[in-house]
Amino acid sequence: MLRSFFMSFQKKAWKKYILFAAAACFLLSGGIWYVKEYTTVGNSVNGHEMPVCSVETDEKQAALTFETAWGDKKTGEILDILKEEKIRATFFVTAGWMREHPDLVGRMKAEGHDIGTMGVSHENLSEQTSAEIRAELQEAEHTAKEEGISMELFRPPYGRYSDTLIRTAAEEGFFTICWSIDSRDWKNYGKRSLIKEVVESEELRNGAIIRLNSEAKFTKGALKELIENIEEKSYEIVPVSEMILRENYHMDVKGRQIPRMT
């Protein structure tokens, strides 16, 4: 009888041990999953480098970014609209475009816009070596300095990036900036589609970075209404340089900068 009692006790104890171990494994795996989603120091996520796509901030702010690599027919008019609406934006230009359009570059600078680079000629840099990338960025920076412009923002052409590209850009003093909302203006679907892509996006929240193209067919015509729609949602439109974090942050898997808890 005594033996039976001890055997029963041991079975119950063993069951409790198994349940405890299972619960511990579940919690541990959940904790590991969470760390994978939000780990990192700086721009590394799960062992890979991430561009800045948005910023975690209490400020109700968003940034308009314009890719400017070809032509000048609409860019000047976009600058006119931004000036009229008292909006400062961020322009990503190529070194080649800067050389061809010093007057527009001068306006961007004088009117308080950010000027970042996309390299020399809007070439896909994601498969290039560190040495090739470094040469590209240094030439772009040299061209900017000739125009009296200091750059710290880099957008990889076509949004294509690699660990090597982001690391090399950082070594050259650049923050790699992509976007959280793509207006898809380059698809030429029309003014209404462009505005809808931005204003109805789930990613239109504090710290959003919006992608536009200066010379796309419908961007200029949609810009004023787009600004009005964003401001009606109580967002302040600011340059990327005034929104990004430069230290004490980590990244999530979507490229969102998150302030480190102090």
At residue 20, does pLDDT exceed 50? Answer: no
Taking residues 122-126, report their average pLDDT: 95
Backbone angles phi, psi at 221, to 5 degrees: -65, -25
CATH class of 48-259: alpha beta
Mean pLDDT of 146-157: 97
User: 111: how many CB neighbours lie within 10 A of its CB?
Assistant: 14
Query: Are the C-beta atoms of residues 180 and 142 closer than 8 Å to each other?
Result: no
pLDDT band at 212 (very low <50, low <70, confident <90, very high): very high
* Per-domain residue ranges of the chain: 2-38, 48-259
Segment among 4-8, 56-60, 121-125 with least mean pLDDT = 4-8
Verdict on whether the full-model pTM lies above 0.85? no
pLDDT recorded at residue 261? 80
